[in-house]
Amino acid sequence: MQAVQTVLLFTLTAVAEIVGCYLPWLWLKKGGSAWLLLPAAASLALFAWLLSLHPSAAGRVYAAYGGVYIGVALCWLWAVDGIRPTAWDVVGALVSLAGMAIIMFAPRA
């Protein structure tokens, strides 16, 4: 159950970070409203807070989070940008998720 909670928390954290970065991108690149910066700032604050909820050391959390972020970013690529990830994208995401699992769930002395 701990592993499921960890992965879900990482996933929520990744979504918060991506939204916090995507909204300013919409403003800068797609001519969106500057008002998008307000929810973007709130989303990035949520992202930072969510990272603090993990019980592991910060450096370990940041390293492992990167693996989940890659997977969530590829899901975003498909769901929001409408671009289907390639087989190489999927393989890369699986490798990064394996790295996350090793970092987070390895036995500790």
Where along the chain do its domains lie?
2-105
Rounded-to-integer distance, Cα 72 and Cα 16, Å: 11
**Residue 106: band (very low, low, confident or very high) from pLDDT cuts 50, 70, 90:** confident
Contacts of 33 (CB under 8 A, 6+ apart): 27
Per the confidence metrics, is the pTM higher than 0.85? yes
The whole-number average pLDDT for the span 81-106 is 93
Three-class secondary structure of residue 86 per DSSP: coil
- Compute CA 68 distance to the chain's CA centroid, rounded to the nearest angstrom: 6
Rounded-to-integer distance, Cα 52 and Cα 92, Å: 27
Three-class secondary structure of residue 10 per DSSP: helix
Per-residue pLDDT reduced to its tens digit, 61-91: 888 889 989 999 999 999 999 999 999 999 9
